[in-house]
Each structure stands twice: as C-alpha cells, then as structure tokens.
Amino acid sequence: MEIPYTVETRPDTGLFNAKLGIWLFLASEVMLFGGLFSGYVLLRTGAIDWPHGWERLSVPLATFNTAVLIASSVCMVLSRRALKIGRLAKGRAWLLATAALAIAFLAVKLFEYREHFQAGDVPARDNFFATYYTLTGVHGLHVAGGIVVIAYLAGPGAAMWSRQRERYANRVETVALYWYFVDLVWLVLFPALYLL
C-alpha cells in the first residue's frame, strides 16, 4: 500500500502532505503561544504595578541570544540551499551549525535562569517572573525539540538522501518552517518581556 503525495505535490492543492501538516501544526502553535501571550497581556494590563522588563532582566544577554537565533535561521536557509543544488555534505554541515547555535541559545537561557534563581527571582516571586519563566520556558522546550529533530536530520536521518533525495529535502523544508516559527516566537517574546 502506498500513501499518495508523501513526496510529490498533489496537482490541485499544490502541496505534499507533510507541508500541509506542518502548516496546520504551526496554526495550532500560534493558538498555543497566543493563549500564553493573552495571559501575559491580561495579567500585565490588570496589574497595579508591573516592572519594565529591562529593570529585572538582562537585555544584553537577550540581544545576544536574539542574534544567535536569527543566525541559526540563516544557517537553516543555507542548508536548504545546499540541498537544493545537490550538496549533501554542505547541507548537513549547515544543519549542524543550526543545531549548535540553538544549543548556544539554550545555554545562555539556562545561564539567565540560574542568575535569577540565585538572586531569589523564582517563578513564585511575582507574576512578572511567573510569565517570564512560563513563556520563555515553553519557547525553550520548542527550541529543544527542534534541536533533536535537526540533529537527527543532520545525522542518521541523512541516510535517506541516497535513496529518496527529494523526500529528504522535503523533511528539511518542513523542519525549517517549524524552526523559522520558533525564531519568530522569540522575536515577539524578546521585546514583550525584555524591552517593554
């Protein structure tokens, strides 16, 4: 039995299955982060007193992290470009670079968490830190999930290239869409939590 349109696009929809699937998944992710974000907005607008992000959090570290995450997305684009012109080794190298930058992002994030915890700024301290930890935490889990999948595609998952080149490229494309989305979420969280 064969599932149609796993690799080739369906003519009347112009999509292969996983591409539609990942877009639907991202739509659901928008609603998840939308729910979290609306919680943040409602609590902040209803609060008597809410500190500015830059008073409590480290803007330089977060700016550095923003650059790291954008760079990782650029690496993802370069990986897709390399695969498009048939160069697997280069594509894998850029995927590894993407994952490495993502790990750097998480390392900085964990460093930030540790600093806050040592200063007594735990989630229970107030709703500023409660939303900070929850929103960046859920985002961090998404980054971690992305690292696993990207590392898999750069490593054992690349074996598919020799037999099903197009299918492998499709997989990288769907993961790339996810990865851009994860970056985009950070680009909303960064100003909302640190700069406002």
User: What is the nearest approach in angstroms of another protein to the Cβ of residue 85?
Assistant: 20
User: What is the nearest approach in angstroms of another protein to the Cβ of residue 144?
Assistant: 16
DSSP 90-144: HHHHHHHHHHHHHHHHHHHHHHHHHHHHHTT--TTS-HHHHHHHHHHHHHHHHHH
Query: Residue 135, Cβ neighbours under 10 Å: how many?
Result: 20
User: What is the nearest approach in angstroms of another protein to the Cβ of residue 122?
Assistant: 8
Three-state secondary structure call for residue 196: coil
Interaction mask 13-42, another protein, x per CB under 8 A: x-x-xx-xx--xx-xxx-xxxxxx-xx--x
The stretch among 55-63, 122-130, 147-155, 172-180 that binds another protein (CB under 8 A) is: 122-130
Three-state secondary structure call for residue 12: coil
Amino acid making up residue 144: A
Pick one of 107, 122, 144, 188: the residue that binds another protein (CB under 8 A).
122
Task: Report yes or no: 6 and 18 within 8 Å, Cβ to Cβ.
Answer: yes
Number of residues in contact with another protein, rule: CB under 8 A?
47
Q: Which residues of this chain interact with another protein, rule CB under 8 A? A: 1-8, 10, 13, 15, 17-18, 20-21, 24-25, 27-29, 31-36, 38-39, 42-43, 46-48, 122-127, 130-131, 133-134, 138, 164, 166-167
